[in-house]
């Protein structure tokens, strides 16, 4: 049989691992290698240890909660009809209300989010597990866990040629929306998915509390000059925007893109319900998750007087001036 020269050349090379015809590889067993029985025994002992630790955890769970873990999980998976009704009907006193003089500044927002609930400081002698507390008290606790007023900065995530623009925000999502069905039900009394494309009637992807959340438009987050106008014309639920903050350039973009189009201006006036309006700096190097708006003792006008008057006429609110900062309220 004819063979290729390269293959025959490789076979002809002497190698310590080369096998002669009819031979088989020989493996030597280490002196201290465990036997098959020893390996099986080691695996069985390891499995027994895991089962023992799991049993200990289950016993501890039963001792703390008074029932088995599986039973507790099955009970907490869904709310009963009675609990659902009690959550919907109960509203804790002192909830922050959206007043006409509310301003989205840090010092005023903190005051509006202070709850007048008084809790005793006396040390208790017993400890009641959270699932066994009255539903009204659990509602108050979940409400206290909500983040309060947030600055929700809008950013578009899709390309300009998309028929349906997609808007997102880096603002922190309330944790209560993702803990349990009970906490989510309570959180959804305040937050709803907003600002989806109105042409397709899709739900938005931004959790927003219209009473205390502040919508923020920065020129650094807009893909082009007419983006803010496109958002206000395309997004649904723009009537939820009651507290609006725009950087100076965004205000100029809004006026320039609408121009003298009275039809769009009248549509904007009809749909928008802005109660507080702030013009601020855009702050390019700030963290986008924890933004806050600080009022200026000496207002600095970021826009011209003419642009300011047009924006006030379009949105029906008096402009105040502030500065964007990073950090919690």
pLDDT in tens, 186-224: 999 999 998 887 766 667 889 999 888 999 988 877 777
Is residue 64 in some structural domain? no
Is residue 153 in some structural domain? yes
- Residue with the bigger pLDDT between 188 and 263: it is 188
Domain of 159 in residue numbering reads as 147-175+209-326
Using the predicted structure, report yes or no on whether residue 133 has a pLDDT greater than 80. yes
pLDDT in tens, 100-120: 555 666 544 444 445 555 556
Q: How many domains does the chain have?
A: 1
Is residue 265 in some structural domain? yes
Q: Judging by beta carbons within 10 Å of its beta carbon (0-12, 13-18, 19+), is residue 6 exposed, middle or buried?
A: exposed
Whole-number average pLDDT of the chain: 74
Of the listed ranges 17-21, 158-162, 312-316, the least confidently predicted one is 17-21
Is residue 67 in some structural domain? no
Is residue 129 in some structural domain? no
Using the predicted structure, report yes or no on whether residue 17 has a pLDDT greater than 60. no
Going by their DSSP bridges, the two strands 151-153 and 192-194 should be labelled as unpaired
Of the listed ranges 161-175, 243-257, 258-272, the least confidently predicted one is 161-175
Is residue 285 in some structural domain? yes
Is residue 52 in some structural domain? no
192: which strand partners?
208
Question: Residue 9 has what pLDDT?
Answer: 47
Q: Please check whether residue 105 is in contact with residue 154, taking contact to mean a CB–CB distance below 8 angstroms.
A: no
Question: Residue 111 has what pLDDT?
Answer: 44
Is residue 189 in some structural domain? no
Tokens coding 182: 């009970």
């Amino acid at each position: 049989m004819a063979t290729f020269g390269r293959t025959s050349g490789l076979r002809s090379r002497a190698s310590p691992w080369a096998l002669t015809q009819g031979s088989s590889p020989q493996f030597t067993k280490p002196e201290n290698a465990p036997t098959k029985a020893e390996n099986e025994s080691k695996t069985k002992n390891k499995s027994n240890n895991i089962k023992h630790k799991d049993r200990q955890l289950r016993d501890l769970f039963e001792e703390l909660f008074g029932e088995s873990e599986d039973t507790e999980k099955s009970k907490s998976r869904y709310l009963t009809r009675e609990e659902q009704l009690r959550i919907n009907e109960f509203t804790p006193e002192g909830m922050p209300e959206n007043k006409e003089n509310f301003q989205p500044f840090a010092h005023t927002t903190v005051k509006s989010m202070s709850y007048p609930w008084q809790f005793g400081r006396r040390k208790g002698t017993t400890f009641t597990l959270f699932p066994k507390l009255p539903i009204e008290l659990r509602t108050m606790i979940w409400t206290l866990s909500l983040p309060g007023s947030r600055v929700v900065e809008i950013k578009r995530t899709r390309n300009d040629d998309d028929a349906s623009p997609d808007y997102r925000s880096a603002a922190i999502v309330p944790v209560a929306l993702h803990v349990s069905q009970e906490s989510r039900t309570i959180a959804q009394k305040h937050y709803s998915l907003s600002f989806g494309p109105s042409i397709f009637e899709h739900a938005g992807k931004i959790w927003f509390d219209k009473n205390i959340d502040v919508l923020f438009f920065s020129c650094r987050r807009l893909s082009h000059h007419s983006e803010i106008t496109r958002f206000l014309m395309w997004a649904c639920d723009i009537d939820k925007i009651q507290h609006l903050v725009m950087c100076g350039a965004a205000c100029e973009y809004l006026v320039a893109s609408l121009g003298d189009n009275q039809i769009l201006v009248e549509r904007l006036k009809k749909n928008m319900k802005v109660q507080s309006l702030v013009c601020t700096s855009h702050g390019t190097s700030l963290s986008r998750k924890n933004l806050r708006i600080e009022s200026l003792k000496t207002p600095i006008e970021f826009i011209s007087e003419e642009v300011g008057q047009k924006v006030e006429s379009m949105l029906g609110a008096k402009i105040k001036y502030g500065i964007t900062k990073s950090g919690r309220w």
